[in-house]
Amino acid sequence: MISIKFSRLEILPFIFVLLINSCSNNTAPSSQPIHFFNANIITMDPDKPLANSFIVTGDKITLVDEEAESSSLKNIIKVDLGGKTVLPGIIDSHVHIRELGMDTLKANLVGVSSVKEIVERLKDKFPNPARGEWLIGQGWDEGAFASTGYPDRHLIDISFPNNPVALESLHGFAGLYNDYALKLANINSATKDPDIGNIIRRKNGEPTGVMLTLAQDLIQPFIPEPSNEKIKNAIVAGLNNMALAGVTSIHEAGMTPKDVEAFIALKKSNSLPIRVYGMLDGNNDELIKHWFAQGPLDDKNDFLDIRSIKIFYDGSLGSRTALMSEPYSDQFGKSLATERISTEKILSLGRKASELGFQMATHAIGDKGNNQILSLYEEILNLDGTFDHRWRIEHAQVLFPDFYNRLAELKILASIQSSHAVGDSKWAEDRIGPERIRDAYSWQKILKSGGRLLLNSDLPGEPWEPMNTLYFAVNRKPLNSSKDEKGWYMDQALSVQEALKAMTIENAYGAFQEKNLGSIEADKLADFIIIDKNPLTIAPEDIKNISVLETWVSGIRVTPDYQ
């Protein structure tokens, strides 16, 4: 049996190569109906929430719990699931898939707590680097380091004097670079901070190597870009990894021009193993200009839709770059709050997007940032009437008390990440204090106000596998916690049913795909997964131990056989 309990960096690249042919959509569904029976089926259909059998004909589900009719079908394939549980395919509605695939080439820095550990991981990954070769790492937690003091490049300079080093933070809001890399980019004590972003400095004014938010762009042009072929391979590797973990569809949050080119090429060659809903990088003027002239891409089979614009507005809570209405509680007066795009530009983009039928999805973390985006949305939507916009706020982490009702009234979708609440719980209350934390990561307040939640991973920053996302949403504590350990602000935790709804049918709704995806119902596309335990009946603590046995997309099994 394949047990999907790997971390995202434990899969070796060659495994993905072996899976590419079996996990692509060039295979046709069975010409014979397939009857799956003797199962615990969680349908996510409110009219029929549970079932014990269903039939797949071609790429669609045709019957659910209709035993008499199924027995009359000729040449039907019978599959006894032996009491296993079936879920609709998981939809991860906020990912960075190319980064997931590319991470196999980087040093894994997740969990490091010192520069010494960073150096050790780099040496393990790059034991004998060629002179001048860029050494790339990813995953040091900018939030945790910001609490104890950002790292300094000194030990990295000593260890790698002949190589430029670029180390991406866990959530992408900071980068750490060595002296070699800084010199290539001509960054020194005389370099001024960019308009948006900060160069963290030593007492003598020299850069420590840490660059916050858009200050990273000062070095980015000097890091070699991956080839188109490498980008395509990374995308397929990442999608295959997700298929193994039970994901049948993703929303790619912030496609660059090269990403768009790669996704379209993969779709044309029938090489996408699972579905992709594209969210264009709204901070890229040329890209948006091109797509505004072209209009949305709406694939009738929903294998590649591109109809959303992802805007990066403020920074992150961990790096103190999120836009807050009041100073940060732990470093009063030392906010590095970042507005990565002007409100005037967002207003202009939003008006054009509404005119052309593009969805808006905006990254907002701080209470001021979230309030600002909601107000901009309100202005645009009031001008353009009550159309079916399904606009989104990505993250919606720290909120004002009146935010919830406004969100519900405007029908804005809150796209949240359960892993962020758990990962940030170590320092979030220190950042914003005991009062504001009551309106942070406040999922139940959103639901009780009548708002709608989309639940996702924002991979590759935190543990992203769907059963981890579900576990975090229900338990609000780390995977390695004891059974007796209480979760963080459990009054805001989701029930299993609420979380599964937000990972399936609500995520389908967030991409205008609920008529085809998100539940096990007749006439919907046959995207589903088979798992070894029922999340509705096991102890919440055991959700993290659920294994995904099979993943099916459009009536085709896209994962290998299990034993």
What local confidence, expressed as pLDDT, does residue 384 receive?
63
Structure tokens, 398: 């720290």
Residue 279 lies in a domain: no
Residue 145 lies in a domain: yes
Go through 172-207 and write b for each residue having 16 or more CB atoms within 10 A of its CB, e for each that does not: bbbbbbbbbbbebbebeeebebeebbbbbeeeeebb
Q: Which residue type is seen at 187?
A: I
Q: Is 414 inside a domain boundary?
A: no
The reported pTM is 0.86
Residue 293 forms part of a structural domain: no
- Pull the structure tokens for residue 448: 């009780």
- What pLDDT was estimated at residue 563? 43
SS (H, E, C) 212-243: EHHHHHHCHHHCCCCCHHHHHHHHHHHHHHHH
Tell me if 333 is assigned to some domain.
Answer: no
CA distances to 8, 98, 257, 348, 488 from 285, in Å = 32, 21, 11, 12, 40
**Spatial distance between the Cα atoms of 198 and 357, rounded to a whole number of angstroms:** 36
List the domain range (segments joined by +) for residue 170: 135-222
Q: Which two tokens stand for residue 264?
A: 């379209």
Rounded Cα–Cα distance for residues 48 and 69 (Å): 18
pLDDT of residue 334: 63
In 3-state terms, the chain is what percent helix, strand and coil (to 5)? 35, 20, 45
Question: Which CATH number fits the domain that encloses residue 139?
Answer: 3.10.310.70
| Residue 513 falls inside a structural domain | no
Contacts of 447 (CB under 8 A, 6+ apart): 453, 498
Do the beta carbons of residue 328 and residue 336 sit within 8 Å?
Answer: no
Does residue 142 contact residue 171 with C-beta atoms inside 8 Å?
Answer: yes
* Residue-wise DSSP of 359-371: EEEEEE-SHHHHH
Instruction: Examine residue 194 and state whether it is found in any structural domain, yes or no.
Output: yes
- CA separation, residue 53 to residues 18, 50, 81 (Å): 32, 10, 9
CA–CA separation, 454 and 501 (whole Å) = 9
DSSP secondary structure of 175-191: EEE-HHHHHHTT-STTP
Domain count, the chain: 1
pLDDT at 560: 82
> Which amino acid is it at 171?
H
Cα(259)–Cα(261) distance, integer angstroms: 5
Residues 6 or more apart from 482 whose CB is under 8 A from it? none
The two structure tokens encoding residue 471? 């576990």
Q: Which of 128, 124, 96, 98 is nearest to 226 (CA)?
A: 98
CA-to-CA distance for 425 and 127, rounded, in angstroms? 35
Residue 548 backbone phi and psi in degrees, to 5: -90, 125
Q: How far apart are CA 217 and CA 228, in angstroms?
A: 21
Can you say whether the dihedral through the CA atoms of 461, 466, 469, 472 is positive or negative?
Answer: negative
Residues 6+ apart with CB under 8 A from 436: 326, 329, 367, 398
- Residue 170 domain-assigned (yes or no): yes
Three-state DSSP at 479 gives coil
How does pLDDT run along the chain (563 residues), one tens digit per residue?
Answer: 233 333 333 333 333 333 434 445 556 788 899 999 999 999 999 999 999 999 999 999 999 987 656 666 778 999 999 999 999 999 999 999 999 988 878 899 988 999 999 999 999 999 999 999 999 999 999 888 887 889 999 999 999 999 999 999 988 889 999 999 999 999 999 999 998 889 999 999 999 999 998 899 999 999 998 899 999 999 999 999 999 999 999 999 999 999 999 999 999 999 999 999 999 999 999 999 999 999 999 999 999 999 999 999 999 998 899 999 999 998 766 667 889 999 999 999 999 999 999 999 999 999 999 999 999 999 999 876 667 999 999 999 999 999 999 999 999 999 999 999 999 999 999 999 999 999 999 999 999 999 999 999 999 988 999 999 999 999 999 999 998 999 999 999 999 999 999 999 999 999 999 999 999 999 999 999 999 999 999 999 999 999 999 999 999 999 986 54
Given a contact cutoff of 8 angstroms between Cβ atoms, the answer to whether 377 and 360 are in contact is yes
> Cβ distance 486 to 477 under 8 Å?
yes
